[in-house]
Amino acid sequence: MIEVIRVKDYEAMSLYAARLVAAQVRLVPDSILGLATGSTPLGMYRELVRQHREEGLDFSQVTTINLDEYCGLPGTHEQSYRYYMDSNFFSKINIDPELTFIPDGMTSDIDACCEMYDALIDFLGGTDMQILGVGENGHIAFNEPHDYYFTGQTHKAELTANTIEVNSRFFSDPAEIPHFAISMGMRGIMSAKCILMLVSGAQKADAVYGLLRGEVTPRCPISILQLHQNVKLIVTDDAFVKIED
Ligand code: F6R
């Protein structure tokens, strides 16, 4: 079931999402949180950091599992997702770094790394709450559109030309733009007890349409969330325009 929460802008989306995450952590202090990177959740992380500093929100028992990491970027690289998480969130709250999991983009054995990631998700029993953003082409994590199937397992994903182009704004040297990532698959994502899908911006309107009005198809990866029992879509007005047509 998808509950739609419409908000006016990015700030409102971020606040709403942060309140839900904070409530989860207050109610279940040893929650397993599934986390995303990108521009979408930045405001949510900022608000969670504020609540930690000013309201004592306690992350000391929380475990986190991130969705993805670029292949070939070490955690010290400013564009790696490990660096993003450490600098925007983990270093600003009281989380145990040992309990923050992100695929290793520098692994010499990608298959083993993917298998271990799925074993970890199984061991933890899935996430209690999964934060998701969506790509303009409907991708979630780096599960890119595909003609025939959804990929269940954590896997090495080839980024589409569209995703590479959208990401290129973050890289000064085009040669450094990754073409592959390690991405959680749909099984890991769908094993979440609750999914918070954050969407803002007119460029995401097609993805919102695919989620709410489209058929379930790997051509629009976000559409698989129609099959999940507890999705909260927190969506800004400008990303909702195609639904109102
Ligand atoms: C990031 C991730 C991606 C992003 C998506 C949207 O961990 O899994 O699927 O959520 O590319 O990115 P932004 O938020 O930058 O528009």
Q: What CATH number is attached to the domain comprising 148?
A: 3.40.50.1360
144-172: string of b/e by CB count within 10 Å (b at 16+)?
A: bbeeeebbebbbebebbeebeebbeeeee
Query: Choosing from 144, 155, 206, 228, which is the catalytic residue?
Result: 144
Q: Is the dihedral of CA 141, 142, 143, 147 positive or negative?
A: positive
The alpha carbon of 204 and the centre of ligand 1 are apart by a number of angstroms equal to 11
d(Cα 54, Cα 85) in Å, to the nearest integer?
20
Query: What is the total count of domains within the chain?
Result: 1
pLDDT higher than 80, residue 244: no
Does residue 68 have its Cβ closer than 6 Å to ligand 1?
A: yes
pLDDT higher than 70, residue 245: no
| Structural domain for 188, as ranges | 2-244
Does residue 139 have its Cβ closer than 6 Å to ligand 1?
A: yes
Active site includes 52? no
Looking at the CA of residue 68, tell me the nearest atom of ligand 1: 7
**Percentage of the residues of the chain whose pLDDT score is greater than 70:** 99
Give the CA distances from residue 120 to residues 31, 71, 132, 138, in Å, rounded to whole numbers and listed in that order. 15, 20, 19, 26
Does residue 133 have its Cβ closer than 6 Å to ligand 1?
A: yes
pLDDT higher than 90, residue 98: yes
pLDDT higher than 70, residue 56: yes
- Tell me which residue has its CA closest to atom 3 in ligand 1: 141
Task: Determine the angle formed by the axes of helices 10-27 and 42-55, rounding to 10 degrees.
Answer: 50
d(Cα 96, Cα 71) in Å, to the nearest integer?
25
The alpha carbon of 75 and the centre of ligand 1 are apart by a number of angstroms equal to 18
- Mean pLDDT, all residues of the chain: 96
Q: Please tell me the predicted confidence (pLDDT) of residue 128.
A: 98
- Tell me which residue has its CA closest to atom 1 in ligand 1: 37
Which tokens belong to 201? 């911006």
Query: Choosing from 47, 52, 68, 143, which is the catalytic residue?
Result: 68
pLDDT tens readout for residues 119-177:
999 999 999 999 999 999 999 999 999 999 999 999 999 998 988 888 888 888 888 89
Mean pLDDT throughout 3-22?
A: 98
Q: Please tell me the predicted confidence (pLDDT) of residue 105.
A: 96
Q: Is the dihedral of CA 198, 46, 58, 124 positive or negative?
A: positive
The strand ranges marked E within the chain are 2-7, 32-35, 63-66, 68-70, 100-101, 129-132, 155-158, 180-183, 195-199, 231-236
pTM over 0.85: yes
Q: Which of 35, 139, 169, 189 has the most ligand 1 atoms within 8 A of CB, as the residue to mutate?
A: 139
Does residue 67 have its Cβ closer than 6 Å to ligand 1?
A: yes
**Which of 155-164, 212-221, 233-242 shows the lowest per-residue confidence on average (mean pLDDT)?**
155-164
Q: Which of 40, 82, 206 has the most ligand 1 atoms within 8 A of CB, as the residue to mutate?
A: 40
Characterize the bridge pairing of strands 180-183 and 68-70: antiparallel
Which tokens belong to 125? 């029993």
Q: Please tell me the predicted confidence (pLDDT) of residue 81.
A: 96
- Tell me which residue has its CA closest to atom 8 in ligand 1: 141
Q: Is the dihedral of CA 224, 212, 21, 166 positive or negative?
A: positive
Q: Please tell me the predicted confidence (pLDDT) of residue 135.
A: 95
